[in-house]
Amino acid sequence: MKKISFFVVISLFANIIFANQSVNAMGLFYTNIDYPITATGASNGQTPSSLKSGIGKSMNILGLVETGDAGIREAASNGGIKKIHFIDANEKSVFFFFRKITTTVYGE
């Protein structure tokens, strides 16, 4: 009975930690990863550095409080972008204490 209770508690704990993780790769204790999100792509040889950019951010503390908006629409609005070419996401986290997601949108 004690073994079953132990595994139930461990399973619940793991579910709490990993339930909202959405990145392609994740470290158990520390994560700092950049990854692309599919968009329309640039035309005429444009690169992200030659386009306008907008940023959206959200932050989670202890899995209890989450603030901000890291959505694509918010990032595009912040940069005054009407046509999106590229989208990059960055996630930083430290165990379950802290998590920050930044979405950067590039376009015209």
Whole-number average pLDDT of the chain: 79
Q: What is the rounded average pLDDT of the residues 7-21? A: 60
Q: What is the pTM of this model?
A: 0.69
If pLDDT is split at 50, 70 and 90, which confidence band does 78 have?
A: very high
Where in the sequence is the domain holding 94, given as residue range(s)? Answer: 2-107
pLDDT in tens, 18-62: 555 554 566 778 888 888 777 666 666 666 677 889 999 999 998
68 or 20: which carries more pLDDT confidence?
A: 68
The 3-state secondary structure of the chain, one letter per residue: CHHHHHHHHHHHHHHHHHCCCCCCCCCCCEEEEEEEECCCCCCCCCCHHHCEEEEEEEEEECCCEEEEECCHHHHHHHHCCCCEEEEEEEEEEECCCEEEEEEEEEEC
Q: Are strands 84-94 and 30-37 parallel, antiparallel or unpaired?
A: antiparallel
What's the structural domain count of the chain? 1
Q: What is the rounded average pLDDT of the residues 67-77? A: 91
If pLDDT is split at 50, 70 and 90, which confidence band does 84 have?
A: confident
Entry field: residues in the chain: 108
Q: What is the rounded average pLDDT of the residues 54-77? A: 91
If pLDDT is split at 50, 70 and 90, which confidence band does 13 have?
A: low
Residues sharing a CB contact under 8 Å with residue 99, sequence separation 6 or more, in sequence order = 59, 60, 91, 92, 93
**Residue 36 identity:** P
